[in-house]
């Protein structure tokens, strides 16, 4: 048996593997650079500090005990008051939070800007020939 041949094939495959990975992990074109306002960033801070992501998904990522909240802002007709009540409602398995008015505003702002930047579920995404998923972004900047 000619082992050199197999080592050669292995090296070619490894080289292709590295080129492919280098390409997909360094190609900036496929990443949306979402820019949030300071107010929304404070909302995002509250989001992580209170572990909202352990039950809710944003852009499809997060826990599955509660619903995906990527587009909740438009789904609930951009109704700030409704969302603010929900935050402190302790509905079903959601913990009973005690956010003040300013914190509720910041959380609403976060969900509003997230809603303006992406779709979830992203049913219009296409799988490209290189295996990358062409995500259907909305826009990268809030209003
Ligand atoms: C322990 C799990 C859990 C955590 C943590 C949690 N939630 Fe929820 N949340 C839920 C569940 C379950 C529902 C669904 C209630 C229903 O079906 O009516 C919900 C519903 C909601 C809704 C209403 C969605 C709608 O359909 O109108 C909002 C808004 C929301 N959560 C925001 C938050 C925010 C913000 C945080 C963090 C501060 C948070 N949740 C933390 C479980 C959780």
Residue 21 domain flag: no
Residue 91 domain flag: yes
Q: Is the entire prediction scored with pTM above 0.85? A: no
Domain that holds residue 117: 37-143
Is residue 6 pLDDT above 70, yes or no?
A: yes
Q: Whose CA is nearest to atom 34 of ligand 1?
A: 52
Instruction: For a ligand 1 pocket test, name from 94, 103, 111 the mutation site with the most ligand atoms within 8 angstroms of its C-beta.
Output: 94
Structural domain count of the chain: 1
Q: Is the CB of 87 under 6 A from ligand 1?
A: yes
pLDDT at res. 76: 92
pLDDT at res. 42: 98
Q: Per residue in 86-132, pLDDT tens? A: 999 999 999 999 999 999 999 999 999 999 888 888 888 888 888 88
Closest atom of ligand 1 to CA, residue 99: 38
Q: Return the HEC string of the chain.
A: CCHHHHHHHHHHHHHHHHHHHHHHHHCHHHCCCCECCHHHHHHHHHHHHCCHHHCCEECCEECCCCCCCCCHHHHCCCCHHHHHHHHCCCCCCCCCCCCCHHHHHHHHHHHHHHHHHCCCCCCCCEECCCCCEECCCCCCECC
Q: Per residue in 35-87, pLDDT tens? A: 899 999 999 999 999 999 999 999 889 999 999 999 999 999 989 999 999 99
Residue 135 domain flag: yes
CATH code of the domain containing 140: 1.10.760.10
Q: Whose CA is nearest to atom 36 of ligand 1?
A: 52
């Amino acid at each position: 048996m000619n082992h050199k041949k197999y080592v050669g094939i292995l090296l070619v495959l490894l080289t292709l593997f590295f080129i492919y990975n280098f390409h997909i992990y360094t190609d900036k074109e496929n990443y949306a650079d979402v820019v949030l306002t300071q107010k929304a960033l404070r909302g995002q801070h509250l989001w992580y500090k209170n572990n909202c992501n352990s039950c809710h998904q944003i852009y499809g990522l997060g826990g599955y005990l509660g619903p995906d909240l990527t587009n909740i802002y438009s789904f609930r007709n951009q109704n700030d008051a409704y969302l603010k009540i929900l935050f402190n409602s302790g509905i079903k398995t959601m913990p009973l939070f005690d956010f003040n008015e300013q914190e509720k505003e910041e959380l609403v702002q976060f969900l509003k800007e997230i809603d303006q930047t992406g779709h979830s579920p992203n049913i219009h995404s296409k799988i490209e020939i290189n295996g990358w998923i062409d995500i259907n972004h909305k826009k990268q900047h809030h209003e």
